[in-house]
Amino acid sequence: MDRYVCLRCGYIYDPAKGDPVGGLAAGTDFSQVGPDWKCPRCGAPERHFARKEEDE
């Protein structure tokens, strides 16, 4: 699964880990986070995330 980076603060959403605090279980793909999910670090909505390239 692809990882996604917050364009505001650099937080990386890793689907293998999920976001337990935000209610996302490990294994939750980014396409399934839903419109109410926010970056756990800065509060940015999911539209402020971009797929992280593997070589970054």
pLDDT digits (tens, 9 = 90+) for 1-44: 899 999 999 999 999 999 999 999 999 999 999 989 999 999 99
Q: Determine the pLDDT at residue 54.
A: 74
Q: Determine the pLDDT at residue 1.
A: 82
The DSSP code sequence of 1-56 is ---EEETTT--EE-TTT-BTTTTB-TT--GGGS-TT-B-TTT--BGGGEEEPPTT-
**Position 56 pLDDT exceeds 60:** no
CATH of residue 41:
2.20.28.10
Which pLDDT band holds residue 55 (cuts at 50, 70, 90)? low
What is the span of the domain harbouring residue 2? Answer: 1-56
- How many domains, the chain? 1
